[in-house]
Amino acid sequence: MCKGQIGLMVAFLVVAASAAQATVNIETVPVGNTGNTGELSGAGAGGYGPDRICGAVGYEYRIGKYEVTAGQYTTFLNAVAVTDTYGLYNTSMWSSTYGCKIQRTDTGSGYSYSVASDWANRPVNFISWGDAARFANWLTNGQPSGAQNLATTEDGSYYLNGATSNEALLAVGRKGNARYVIPSEDEWYKAAYYDPNKPGGAGYWDYPTGTDSVPSNDLVNPDPGNNANFYQDGYTIGSPYYRTVVGEFENSESPYGTFDQGGNVTEWNEAVLFETTRGIRGGAWDMPFSDGYVLRSIDRGSYEPEHEGNSPGFRVAEVPEPATMSLLALGGLGMLLRRRRLGR
């Protein structure tokens, strides 16, 4: 078993649990080096998607070390989807050959949810952007139990209040008092590709494994590094799983220590592209790329935000409140002024 996976088993394994019995622990890593410059991503950089300067973030934040797992999402469903008002569960999670094997049971007084053995620590899929936003709201609100309303899923980091259509979800933005969020494209990009200690000076790698070399999709124990779960002359792992346990490639982390920002499942971000879609990044287990296409920093993908399918999953970020950001900025300004007074 790869390093860290014993801890993941303890923290994440949920087979059939009520919200009173289980809570979700999101393990995060810090992303500092504030004020870093961004870089061009998109067609103009040799990739695809509309051009944009990506990766510059002027504040410290934290981001999920791993993708949100089927076990974590099962806990969420048991807490807020006894009556699934806004469709947080997709039946393909269980019925599809490529689903994450979360099963819904009608108890006669509502729904309960369980995840099949050996699937709890694999990433959840068949997730829309709206599902991810509601999960972030639930975390921000302290993981409450109850109906899907303003106290549980419909407010928090995002004011959704029943938004499920593409048009309504495209209009949703991060609130000023947000805590747990879908990463912005800059937050996601920086955590995946930026390296403050890159040889030759701080900058960006081409791939989220800390390298400019195309990753392989080999599942080897121990992991030699620069590996990811994507399709290249065959699946990394075939039926029935297709998706590896999060963190399986224990030596293929990003410079900040995140896992699977390349491959496994594509991950939602907050970007709006073409005025009709929300951003995705990172490639997936089922995407056939002989040259690492889509895992690259220069590729900007997107789906309509209500899209649910084999590939989309997500991770969350934790951001400081605006007051904290202001204090950090003032602290930096104060230090600069003190240095000037001291002639440094």
The count of domains in the chain is: 1
Q: Using CB atoms within 10 A of its CB, is residue 220 exposed (0-12), middle (13-18) or buried (19+)?
A: exposed
How far is CA 27 from its chain centroid? 12
Query: Quick one: what percent of the chain has pLDDT higher than 90?
Result: 83
> What confidence tens digit (pLDDT) does each residue in 20-77 have?
458 999 999 999 999 999 999 999 999 999 999 999 999 999 999 999 999 999 999 9
Q: Which residue has the higher pLDDT, 10 or 275?
A: 275
Query: Quick one: what percent of the chain has pLDDT higher than 70?
Result: 86
pLDDT for position 322: 59
Q: How far apart are CA 61 and CA 278, in angstroms?
A: 22
pLDDT for position 288: 74
pLDDT for position 66: 98
C-beta of residue 205 within 8 angstroms of C-beta of residue 211? yes
Mean pLDDT value across residues 262-274: 97
> What confidence tens digit (pLDDT) does each residue in 279-331 have?
999 999 998 766 667 899 999 999 999 999 999 999 999 999 754 444 444 44
String of b and e for 237-273 (b: at least 16 CB within 10 Å)? beeebbbbbbbbbbebbbbbebbbbbbbbbbbbbbbb
**Mean pLDDT of the residues in the chain:** 89
Q: 130: domain range?
A: 1-344
As a whole number of angstroms, the longest Cα–Cα distance in the chain is: 74
Structure tokens at 78: 């048991």
Domain with 197 in it: what CATH number? 3.90.1580.10
Closest to 172 measured CA to CA, from 183, 180, 161: 161
Q: How far apart are CA 253 and CA 215, in angstroms?
A: 12
pLDDT for position 292: 62
* Residue located via tokens 């104060």: 334
Q: Does residue 13 carry a pLDDT above 90? A: no
Closest to 292 measured CA to CA, from 301, 300, 282: 282
